[in-house]
Structure 1
Amino acid sequence: MPPKRIIVALLLAASLIGFVDAAYLTAKHYLGAPPPCGRFGGCETVTTSEYATIAGVPLALLGAVYYLAVFLSVIAYLDTRRPGILRMTAGFTAVGFVASVWFVYLQLFVIKAICPYCMLSAFASTVLFIAGMMALREGEGQIISNP
């Protein structure tokens, strides 16, 4: 098991990376410009597909809210050291991971195109899930002892 502070650092870093990625995709959505994909070429196909929004809300915006919620809940945990906050955060990461698995499935088998930005989000979500589960294993969710 990695040192306790590394788990918190992973949660903070992955949620920040995920937030920046999702915020970028959200901005591109509202600007009406697909993100540049270079030689990968699947960004426009994925980000303009029928699966890119839920009730008119871009998935990227929902992702940005998710990553921000995880980031802020980790900050709240660091401020209060309340294990319940970390357990809640781990629950968020599980939901995010399941959603990411579904979105990767859609890219690979339904849309048949890959968006690297979306895969970065899936990677960030996976790191969050693993770190969240490691946090739960560390003494009922309290991974940094009270000062």
Structure 2
Amino acid sequence: MKPISKYTISFFFIVAFVGFVDAAYLTLNHFVGIVPPCFITQGCDVVTTSVYSKILGIPVSLLGSLYYLFMLVLMLYYIDKEDARAFKVMALMSVIGFLFSLWFVYVQVFIINSLCSYCLVSAFTSTLLLICGIHFWRATGLHVQTRDI
């Protein structure tokens, strides 16, 4: 495994923490029944109360909070144990998180026709985590194996 700089680890941790705070804020507002005010866009109320704001009755923001928390725990695990498997899991999870974010941005733009500032922050942080995840993937020497047919 190629060494991963402390700056990359710190950057990942900060980005995941920002994503967690953002998603946790939306989750708290959801359960309290408050629609958060938008700070750049003007569609937070439409997006956070739409039918797309829940999956099987679970707020998307709660799923996001759990995702970012999981990424933080994985990074803490790596820092403590220096186990490269944590990077492999983070790399794979970052792809999943990015694909979910991509879907939700699509929903906001093309279906709901409203943008939520907090949701865009989450999409941005998941994109940054994907970039880190690609770096982790390369550093751990993961290769996709194919079978001859």
Same fold at TM > 0.5: yes
Residue in 1 aligned with 2:90? 89
Residue in 2 aligned with 1:145? none
**Code of the aligned partner of 2:118:** Y
Residue in 2 aligned with 1:144? none
Identity percentage of aligned residues: 40
Structure 2 Cα separation of the partners of residues 22 and 139 of structure 1: 29
Residue in 1 aligned with 2:138? 137
Conserved 8 A contact 2:77-2:86: yes
Structure 2 Cα separation of the partners of residues 38 and 79 of structure 1: 37
Residue in 1 aligned with 2:110? 109
1:139–1:61 CA distance, 2 compared to 1 (3 A): closer
SS at match of 1:51: helix
TM-score (ref. length: structure 2): 0.89
Which digits, 9 at most, give the CA deviation of each residue in 1:84-110, with x for residues without a partner? Answer: 111011111110001000000000000
Which digits, 9 at most, give the CA deviation of each residue in 1:21-75, with x for residues without a partner? Answer: 0000001111111001156210000000000001111000000000000000011
Structure 2 Cα separation of the partners of residues 6 and 80 of structure 1: 18
Conserved 8 A contact 2:39-2:117: no
Residue in 2 aligned with 1:13? 14
- How far is the alpha carbon of 1:136 from its aligned partner? 1.8
Which digits, 9 at most, give the CA deviation of each residue in 1:103-133, with x for residues without a partner? Answer: 0000000000000000000001000010111
**Code of the aligned partner of 2:100:** A
Structure 2 Cα separation of the partners of residues 26 and 139 of structure 1: 34
User: Aligned Cα RMSD in Å?
Assistant: 1.3
Unmatched segments (≥5 aa) in structure 2: 143-149
Unmatched segments (≥5 aa) in structure 1: 142-147
Conserved 8 A contact 1:93-1:132: yes
Tell which deviates more after alignment, 51-60 or 36-45. Answer: 36-45
